[in-house]
């Protein structure tokens, strides 16, 4: 299960993602997380353009890495072309089982 500070950032303010129904993705994610009673550990936030426009709608997952020391690093994973169906996969596979979803994964260096 994701840590207490896992955030799901949905680009709803960037023009490319918003034109591709990112607001619907955000709404669906929030409803699904609330229905699963996971809203105390997963926070869904609107965000501005993440610089991954051509992959929209983009969902970025920010979590703290599990480390043995006191310092925890932020780990970010970005998914593109996210639909409502993909939101279920993100919650069930990425968040719950820590298994990245390769078909949605945006590889860094292939942006905009
Ligand atoms: S418009 Fe969404 S990443 Fe740029």
Residue 21 belongs to domain with CATH number: 3.40.30.10
Residue having the nearest C-alpha atom to atom 1 of ligand 1: 14
In a domain, 107, yes or no: no
Contacts of 63 (CB under 8 A, 6+ apart): 2, 3, 5, 6, 7, 74, 75
What would the pLDDT profile of 62-77 be if each residue is shown by its tens digit?
988 766 666 677 889 9
In a domain, 110, yes or no: no
Is residue 70 included in any domain, yes or no? yes
Which pLDDT score is estimated for 64?
80
- Please, which residues have CB within 8 angstroms of residue 3's CB and are 6 or more apart in sequence? 41, 63, 64, 66
pTM for this model (two decimals): 0.88
Task: Quote the pLDDT of residue 74.
Answer: 83
Q: Are 13 and 46 within 8 A, CB to CB?
A: yes
Express each pLDDT in 77-108 by its tens digit.
999 999 999 999 999 999 999 999 999 999 87
Return the structure tokens found at 47.
Answer: 């965000």
Q: What tokens appear for 87 in the block?
A: 């939101």
How far is ligand 1, taken at its centre, from the CA of residue 11, in Å? Answer: 6
Report yes or no on 62 lying in a domain: yes
Q: What is the pLDDT of residue 2?
A: 44
What is the C-alpha to C-alpha distance for residues 80 and 104, in angstroms, rounded to an integer?
5
Q: For residue 91, how many C-alpha atoms fall within 13 Å in the half-sphere facing its CB?
A: 23
Domain that holds residue 88: 6-97
Whether 16 is in the pocket of ligand 1, judged by its Cβ within 6 Å, is yes
77 part of a folded domain: yes
Q: What is the pLDDT of residue 35?
A: 94
* Number of domains the chain is built from: 1
In a domain, 106, yes or no: no
What does the mean pLDDT of the chain come to?
A: 89
Mean pLDDT along residues 13-32: 96
């Amino acid at each position: 299960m994701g840590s207490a500070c896992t955030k799901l950032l949905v680009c709803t303010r960037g023009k490319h993602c918003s034109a591709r129904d990112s607001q619907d993705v955000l709404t669906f994610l929030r409803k699904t997380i609330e229905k699963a009673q996971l809203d105390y550990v997963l926070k869904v936030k609107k965000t501005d353009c993440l610089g991954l426009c051509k992959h929209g709608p983009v969902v970025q997952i920010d979590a703290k890495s599990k480390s043995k020391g006191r310092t925890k690093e932020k780990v970010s994973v970005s998914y593109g072309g996210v639909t409502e169906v993909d939101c279920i996969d993100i919650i069930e596979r990425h968040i719950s089982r820590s298994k990245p979803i390769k078909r949605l994964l945006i590889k860094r260096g292939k942006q905009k």
